């Protein structure tokens, strides 16, 4: 019997007849309907609507509870004997995993432990992440995920996500049909050409979409069964990988030009044909040459954003807005120098422009406050071979070759590093920033940690505790000789993309504008308390990130309905409750059949 959805899922009735017994009706039901548009809450005795039984249950990470299955569940599901005769609560299982995790001697082994758990027991994996997000996020995402991508051939255990190659052109729709889930709401896609600050890792880049989507769920509550990681393998220009017998991707140079664009066009169309126009597609770790071009090409045609450009911009501007409560002035009172002029720098620059314009400053005046330094020096008017993005930020100034010299001449109030040049913020530069400003702003945002422009300790020590510091990767607390202790703020994109994804999915927004990222930045900044600022934090503690994501999502949903951009109706009266009900729970479902009997007279068998 096929379930018919009526807000709360109808239940599938299974007659169970035993010797000498009247028929007993058992119902397998679902906590929340997987059909689009159904948000009916769970009721008493309702568990997931499962079609599998026996051995398959224990091998399905969405369903497997390990030794948390009760005896009744084991008997009814046909798995009794397949699991040791022991019954554990999820809390005890969590303790076992943590003990095993802490026994590992290095971060890569810890990463493998967590990914193996994700492949085995999804609910327990997310319970673990959310139990201490500050501890486990650096393992499943930056900085450890960078090492995991570099060692992906060795760390590879079980395929996750969808690998689509340049040779699959014309057949991407068929490949999407291979994915077992039909109700996909969010996709993170990469071509592996610019993984963090590590460069071209080809198909080893799959670790990034997998890690990113794990944070969609852990930090934003997006259902993991609605998430799809995708790696577009068009080859690699990394000679070491091409010569590595353990490399798991296509062993040829990257395909570019028309064939690449045709692959991208077909992928975008195939995704929306199968999953709908409001399926979120996040671009991740594409090289500069493609990142801006693809974002501009698709942003008004599909529900898409680029986290390296827009997500990084949002979290950086959130830190700047929070810093204004320390400097006691407006964003337009500041002057910014960027180390780097790539995706992240351009994204941050554009969002700063938008925020300044919101303060009432003209675009022309705002542009004069943003200075960018690339590998050739200061970006100035008249310099040859500037692309369109760099031309916008070119200043009317003589050429300056080095970052240190630019800081000396421009005397900025803030320096922002996003070029993955380790040590770019030298002692001299930091001393100059401290000389020019009472509270210099120093954002060393490059990932992973080994690529940071300076450490938190260097910033606080050289500026004598006056620096307002944020980094892209985590740094430990810093205690100065005078006893001052600082907890460096980590400008992690995880403050942004989970909440944005949750809000976009909840409202059915079909195009993601930059205004959403400014709203997100402002929301994050409002969650920073005066106590946080006194401790050196420009972002809320990571253990609050799920609530921060909820608030971001509610703001986006409210904005979408006010501007007529939401596609899901009727508009919910209580938007916070509406969004909260959509958020994934790591609590185990009950698989016990819902038993009940009809009145005896209704069950009487008719005889001839």
User: Would you name the residues annotated as active-site residues?
Assistant: 141, 212
Residues in the chain: 608
Tokens 């809000």 correspond to 503
Q: Beta strand 336-339 with 370-374: parallel, antiparallel or unpaired?
A: parallel
The rounded radius of gyration (Å) of the Cα atoms in the chain is 26
Position of tokens 């314009």?
357
The Cα–Cα gap between 153 and 201 comes to 11
> How far apart, in Å, are the Cα atoms of 13 and each of 10, 38, 596, 597?
9, 20, 11, 12
In whole angstroms, what is the distance from residue 608 CA to residue 600 CA?
Answer: 19
Cα–Cα distance measured from residue 547 to residue 528, given in angstroms and rounded to the nearest whole number: 13
C-alpha span between 233 and 239 (Å, rounded): 16
- 513-536 burial, b at 16+ Cβ within 10 Å, e below that, comes to bbebbbbbbbbbbebbeeebbeeb
Beta strands 377-378 and 370-374, pairing class = antiparallel
Are 507 and 568 a contacting pair, CB within 8 Å?
Answer: yes
Distance (Å, whole) CA 221 – CA 580: 9
Distance CA 228, CA 205 (A): 15
**DSSP 8-state symbol, 41:** P
Residue with tokens 């016990």: 592
Listed residue (215, 210, 186) closest to 278, CA to CA: 186
Q: Are strands 280-283 and 186-190 parallel, antiparallel or unpaired?
A: parallel
Look at strands 441-444 and 468-471 and give their pairing: parallel
Tokens of 255: 């395909």
In 328-486, alpha helices (H): 343-358, 363-367, 388-392, 403-410, 427-436, 456-462
d(Cα 246, Cα 262) in Å, to the nearest integer?
Answer: 29
> Are the C-beta atoms of residues 190 and 284 closer than 8 Å to each other?
yes
Cβ pair 223, 589 in contact under 8 A: no
H-only helix segments in 132-189: 133-140, 144-150, 152-155, 172-176
- Closest residue by Cα to residue 131 from 96, 88, 104, 86: 96
Handedness of CA 323, 325, 326, 330 (dihedral sign): positive
């Amino acid at each position: 019997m096929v379930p018919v959805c009526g807000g709360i899922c109808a239940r599938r009735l299974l007659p169970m007849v035993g010797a000498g017994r009247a028929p007993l009706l058992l119902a397998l039901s679902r906590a929340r309907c997987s059909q689009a548009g159904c948000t009916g809450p769970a009721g008493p005795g309702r568990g997931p609507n499962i079609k599998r039984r026996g051995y398959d249950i224990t091998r399905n990470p969405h369903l497997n509870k390990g030794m948390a299955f009760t005896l009744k569940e084991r008997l009814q599901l046909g798995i009794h004997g397949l699991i040791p005769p022991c019954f554990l609560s999820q809390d005890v299982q969590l303790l076992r995993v943590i003990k095993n995790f802490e026994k590992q001697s290095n971060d890569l082994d810890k990463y493998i432990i967590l990914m193996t758990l994700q492949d085995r027991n999804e609910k327990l994996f997310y319970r673990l992440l959310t139990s201490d997000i500050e501890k486990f996020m650096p393992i499943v995402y930056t900085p450890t995920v960078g090492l995991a991508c570099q060692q992906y051939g060795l760390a590879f255990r079980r395929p996750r996500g969808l690998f689509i190659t340049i040779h699959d052109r014309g057949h991407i729709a068929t490949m999407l049909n291979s994915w077992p889930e039909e109700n996909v709401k969010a996709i993170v896609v990469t071509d592996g050409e610019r993984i963090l600050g590590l460069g071209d890792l080809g198909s080893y880049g799959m670790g990034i979409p997998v890690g990113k989507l794990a944070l969609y769920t852990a930090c934003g509550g997006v259902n993991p069964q609605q998430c799809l990681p995708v790696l577009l393998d068009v080859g690699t220009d990394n000679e070491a990988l091409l010569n590595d017998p353990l490399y798991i991707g296509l062993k040829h140079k990257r395909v570019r030009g028309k064939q690449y664009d045709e692959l991208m066009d077909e992928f975008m169309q195939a995704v929306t044909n199968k999953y709908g126009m409001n399926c979120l597609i996040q671009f991740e770790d594409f090289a500069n040459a493609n990142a801006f071009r693809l974002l501009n090409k698709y942003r008004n045609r599909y529900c898409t954003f680029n986290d390296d450009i827009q997500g990084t911009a949002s979290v950086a501007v959130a830190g700047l807005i929070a810093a204004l409560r320390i400097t006691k002035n407006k964003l337009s009172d500041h002057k910014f120098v960027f180390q780097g002029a790539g995706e992240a720098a351009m994204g941050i620059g554009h969002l700063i422009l938008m925020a300044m314009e919101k303060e009432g400053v003209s675009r022309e005046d705002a542009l004069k406050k943003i200075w960018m330094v690339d590998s050739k020096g200061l970006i100035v008017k008249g310099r040859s071979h500037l692309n369109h993005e760099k031309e916008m930020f070119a200043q009317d100034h003589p050429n300056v070759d080095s970052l240190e010299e630019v800081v000396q001449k421009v005397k900025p109030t803030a320096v922002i590093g996003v070029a993955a040049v380790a040590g770019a913020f030298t002692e001299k530069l930091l001393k100059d920033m401290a000389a020019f400003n009472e509270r210099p702003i120093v954002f060393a945002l490059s990932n992973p940690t080994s690529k940071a422009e300076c450490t938190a300790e260097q910033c606080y020590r050289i500026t004598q505790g006056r620096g307002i510091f944020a980094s892209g990767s985590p740094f430990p607390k810093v205690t100065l000789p005078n006893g001052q202790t600082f907890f460096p703020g980590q400008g992690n994109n995880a403050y942004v993309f989970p909440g944005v994804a949750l809000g976009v999915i909840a409202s059915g927004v079909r195009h993601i504008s930059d205004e959403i990222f400014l709203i997100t930045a402002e929301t994050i900044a409002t969650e920073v308390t005066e106590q946080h600022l006194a401790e050196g934090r420009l972002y809320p503690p990571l253990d609050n990130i799920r609530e921060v994501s909820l608030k971001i999502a509610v703001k986006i949903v409210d904005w979408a309905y006010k501007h007529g951009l939401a596609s899901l109706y009727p508009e919910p009266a209580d938007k916070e409750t509406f969004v909260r009900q959509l958020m994934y729970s790591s609590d185990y479902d009950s698989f016990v059949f819902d038993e009940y009997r009809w009145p005896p007279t209704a069950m009487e068998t008719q005889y001839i």
